[in-house]
């Protein structure tokens, strides 16, 4: 007769084998999709203890199913530039998983967008959305269109052309896109207008991140940045710390960064640096938010403009150098893989206490290991930046009920959501023997809900 220990060991071995086999298939089937493979690896490594404890997920072959998008759309986007020339870009939408709700996730307009990038983002979104506690599935999309330097007319013509294809595949109960890098309220507004025209109906809930005048939610703009800080506040509390008096470095200077800086500053931190794709600014007195908003939100200019108004601040070309600035809390809010192992080691050597991911997958797998092995508080993206999509779900609720909520109501619900995500991730990590590892905790907590919903709906 097998002892309990032996049985457990066999289950663990089976789970490891299963994960290894499916991962090999993922690598074969998606050979050149490095970002997607990276995102899958991070999740799979976390799931071994769950699969060992609940063999039903192996019996139902959940992993092989969950890594295959339900649908991946790729389409031509032709548009006419200001010189009358026809330009062609590639559009994507990945409808990854609808087990717990309609596909939900942003659209990214950036020259780096490929099928691999959209798939890694869509895969992450499945678990992130599940963690919010809201009934939303996982999706993502975008285009390799570069909005940098484009006129308003060009942006409008591009987004209209993009929507002329996409509208057939989305809907308030089908798939609900939103913004991401390069897509804000202006772009969502143009896309909403085009959808309305083609559909012949004012379906406010088809897109989120809309301007407040066209059915958008108050506090959606602030949500991702605020949410990341609320999440990290809980992590800091677990070690008797707070943002008060801490030196913080935030990469990026888009929507997520600006509102992470705003909330961290409000909580008493000094945010000394932020960046864009050209370089970073270091202001040891603390970033002046009015100037930053004027440059980035109103002016859409480069961050280097900052030193013109604040000559004591320093501008350095090449944004990646930002991680050499000593800080207590680092909030990577720019883009994927912006922190590699060398930057992670530098942060650790300079005494960083906590790292919270406002961007999607900003740390490489090696960087994550560096943080965890050095006992740094690490808030993984799926959990730490889920505030944006959580408020998108609140926007959908307001659109369905036709009742708008106040800023305070949305902010309070966001705060509560971030606390819940933190607690659920902590609990899952502890339950499966990985206390303090929120990478594992968030992946497990996000996975179980989706996997159970998939099983409940049969093999579809
Ligand atoms: N793009 C954001 C994210 O990465 C928000 C998605 C949404 O609001 O649907 O979660």
Distance 221 CA to ligand 1 centre (A): 11
Catalytically annotated residue among 104, 140, 150, 210: 140
CATH number of the domain at 295, please. Answer: 3.40.50.720
Residue 193 belongs to a domain: yes
User: What is the atom index within ligand 1 of the atom nearest the CA of 209?
Assistant: 8
DSSP 428: H
Distance 337 CA to ligand 1 centre (A): 18
The predicted-structure confidence for 402-455, as pLDDT tens digits, reads as follows 999 999 999 999 999 999 999 999 999 999 999 999 999 999 999 999 999 999
Ligand 1, atom 10: closest residue by C-alpha: 389
Asked if residue 270 and residue 177 are part of one domain, the reply reads: no
Whether residue 322 has pLDDT greater than 60 = yes
The predicted-structure confidence for 85-100, as pLDDT tens digits, reads as follows 999 999 999 999 999 9
Residue 168 belongs to a domain: yes
User: What is the atom index within ligand 1 of the atom nearest the CA of 108?
Assistant: 1
Q: Is 105 in the pocket of ligand 1 (CB under 6 A)?
A: yes
Contact 238, 399 (CB under 8 A): no
Q: How many domains does the chain have?
A: 3
For residue 319, what pLDDT is reported? 85
User: What is the atom index within ligand 1 of the atom nearest the CA of 107?
Assistant: 1
Helix spans in 54-86 (H): 56-59, 62-66
Distance 389 CA to ligand 1 centre (A): 5
Q: Which of 67, 90, 109 is a domain's end point? A: 67
Asked if residue 167 and residue 26 are part of one domain, the reply reads: no
The predicted-structure confidence for 2-36, as pLDDT tens digits, reads as follows 577 778 789 999 999 999 999 999 999 999 999 99
Whether residue 1 has pLDDT greater than 60 = no
Q: Is 178 in the pocket of ligand 1 (CB under 6 A)?
A: yes
| Residue with tokens 């986007």, as numbered in its chain | 77
Q: Is 389 in the pocket of ligand 1 (CB under 6 A)?
A: yes
For residue 285, what pLDDT is reported? 97
Q: What is the mean pLDDT of the chain?
A: 97
CATH number of the domain at 171, please. Answer: 3.40.50.10860
Asked if residue 228 and residue 189 are part of one domain, the reply reads: no
Q: Is 107 in the pocket of ligand 1 (CB under 6 A)?
A: no
Asked if residue 233 and residue 353 are part of one domain, the reply reads: yes
The predicted-structure confidence for 340-384, as pLDDT tens digits, reads as follows 999 999 999 999 999 999 999 999 999 999 999 999 999 999 999
Q: Which of 328, 349, 384 is a domain's end point? A: 384
Q: Which residues pair with 378 in a beta bridge?
A: 355
Query: Which helix (H) or strand (E) covers residue 346, if one does?
Result: helix 341-349
The predicted-structure confidence for 183-225, as pLDDT tens digits, reads as follows 999 999 999 999 999 999 999 999 999 999 999 999 999 999 9
Asked if residue 319 and residue 244 are part of one domain, the reply reads: yes
Mean pLDDT, residues 263-284 taken together: 97
Spatial neighbors of 234 by CB under 8 A, at least 6 apart, are 418, 419, 422, 423
Residue 321 belongs to a domain: yes
Q: Is 247 in the pocket of ligand 1 (CB under 6 A)?
A: no
DSSP 169: G
Q: Is 360 in the pocket of ligand 1 (CB under 6 A)?
A: yes
Q: Is 106 in the pocket of ligand 1 (CB under 6 A)?
A: yes
User: What is the atom index within ligand 1 of the atom nearest the CA of 386?
Assistant: 10
Q: Is 335 in the pocket of ligand 1 (CB under 6 A)?
A: no
Distance 178 CA to ligand 1 centre (A): 6
| Residue with tokens 């996975």, as numbered in its chain | 447
Domain that holds residue 229: 221-384
Distance 359 CA to ligand 1 centre (A): 10
For residue 200, what pLDDT is reported? 98
For residue 297, what pLDDT is reported? 86
Q: Which of 45, 67, 89 is a domain's end point? A: 67
For residue 460, what pLDDT is reported? 83
Q: Is 180 in the pocket of ligand 1 (CB under 6 A)?
A: yes
Q: How many Å apart are CA 225 and CA 168, to the nearest integer?
A: 32
Q: How many Å apart are CA 252 and CA 275, to the nearest integer?
A: 5
Spatial neighbors of 386 by CB under 8 A, at least 6 apart, are 128, 129, 131, 132, 227, 417, 418, 421
Residue 252 belongs to a domain: yes
Is 128 an annotated catalytic residue?
no
For residue 2, what pLDDT is reported? 58
For residue 6, what pLDDT is reported? 79
User: What is the atom index within ligand 1 of the atom nearest the CA of 104?
Assistant: 9
């Amino acid at each position: 007769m097998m002892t309990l220990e032996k049985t457990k060991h066999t289950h663990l071995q089976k789970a490891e084998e299963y994960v290894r086999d499916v991962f090999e298939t993922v690598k074969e089937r998606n050979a050149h999709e490095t970002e997607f493979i990276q995102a899958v690896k991070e999740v799979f490594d976390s799931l071994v203890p769950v699969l060992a404890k609940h063999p039903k997920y192996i019996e139902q072959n959940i992993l092989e199913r969950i890594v295959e998008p339900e649908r991946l759309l790729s389409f031509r986007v032709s548009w006419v530039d200001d010189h009358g020339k026809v330009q062609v870009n590639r559009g994507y939408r990945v409808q990854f998983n609808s087990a717990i709700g309609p596909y939900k996730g942003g659209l990214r307009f950036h020259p780096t967008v490929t099928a691999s990038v959209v798939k890694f983002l869509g895969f992450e979104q499945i678990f992130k959305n599940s963690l919010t506690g809201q009934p939303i599935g996982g999706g993502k999309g975008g285009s390799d269109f570069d909005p940098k330097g484009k006129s308003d007319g060009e942006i409008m013509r591009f987004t209209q052309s993009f929507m002329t294809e996409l509208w057939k595949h989305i809907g308030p109960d089908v798939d609900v896109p939103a913004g991401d890098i390069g897509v804000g309220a202006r772009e969502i507004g143009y896309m909403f207008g085009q959808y309305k025209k083609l559909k012949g109906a004012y379906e406010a809930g088809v897109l989120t991140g809309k301007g407040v005048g066209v059915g958008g939610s108050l506090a959606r703009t602030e949500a991702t940045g605020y949410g990341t800080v609320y999440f990290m506040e809980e992590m800091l509390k677990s070690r008797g710390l707070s943002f008060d008096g801490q030196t913080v470095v935030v990469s990026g200077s888009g929507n997520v960064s600006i509102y992470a800086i705003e909330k961290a500053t409000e909580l008493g931190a000094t945010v000394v640096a932020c960046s864009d794709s050209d370089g970073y600014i270091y202001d040891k007195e603390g970033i002046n938010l009015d100037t930053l908003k004027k440059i980035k939100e109103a002016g859409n200019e480069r961050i280097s403009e900052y030193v013109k108004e604040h000559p004591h601040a320093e501008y350095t070309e090449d944004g990646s150098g930002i991680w050499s600035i000593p800080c207590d809390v680092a909030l990577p809010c720019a883009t994927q893989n912006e922190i590699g192992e060398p930057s992670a080691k530098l942060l650790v050597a300079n005494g960083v206490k906590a790292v919270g991911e406002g961007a999607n997958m900003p740390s490489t797998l090696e960087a994550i290991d560096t943080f965890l092995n050095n006992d740094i508080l690490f808030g993984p993206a799926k959990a730490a930046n889920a505030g944006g999509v959580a408020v998108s779900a609140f926007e959908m609720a307001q659109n369905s009920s036709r009742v708008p909520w106040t800023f305070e109501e949305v902010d309070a619900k966001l705060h509560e959501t971030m606390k819940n995500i933190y607690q659920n991730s902590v609990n899952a990590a502890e339950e499966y023997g990985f206390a303090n590892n929120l990478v594992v905790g968030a992946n497990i907590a996000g996975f179980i809900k989706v996997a159970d919903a998939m099983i409940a709906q049969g093999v579809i």
